[in-house]
Amino acid sequence: MTPGPHDPSDEADRIFELQEEVEQLKEAVTSHAVVDQAIGMMVALGRVTPDEGWVVLKDVSQRTNIKLRNVADLILIWGRYGELSPQIRAELEAALDRHGPTQIPEAPSE
């Protein structure tokens, strides 16, 4: 017996697929926002253009073998709390030297 056009199992499968797609889209939007904020920090603190900020983040991600989204998270944490691992800081400074006009300043004092 072949399923008809309104087979409940087909509809349940389709609902599941759509729920998965919605979750993936939500994650993509959140990830994009985090990366955009980190680029904004590069623009403000590293005195680079947004395009250069993107290249800096990508460069740090590739050189540290850390996903770009995670690098962006670490940079946002640094902006909030002034904490950045020495490895990430060194790679960030090196990337800004390669792609931007200045080194990053010290973390803002509280």
Question: Tens digit of pLDDT for each residue in 69-92?
Answer: 999 999 999 999 989 999 999 999
Closest CA to 95 of 55, 66, 68: 55
47 Rama class: left (phi>0) / alpha (psi -120 to 50) / beta: left
Kindly state the tokens that stand for 29.
Answer: 């939007």
Kindly state the tokens that stand for 106.
Answer: 């010290």
Distance separating alpha carbons of residues 51 and 109, to the nearest angstrom: 28
Q: Which of 22-31, 38-47, 99-108 has the lowest mean pLDDT?
A: 99-108
Closest CA to 92 of 40, 56, 67: 56
Q: What is the arithmetic mean of pLDDT over 1-20? A: 77
Distance separating alpha carbons of residues 68 and 32, to the nearest angstrom: 10
Q: What is the pTM of this model?
A: 0.69
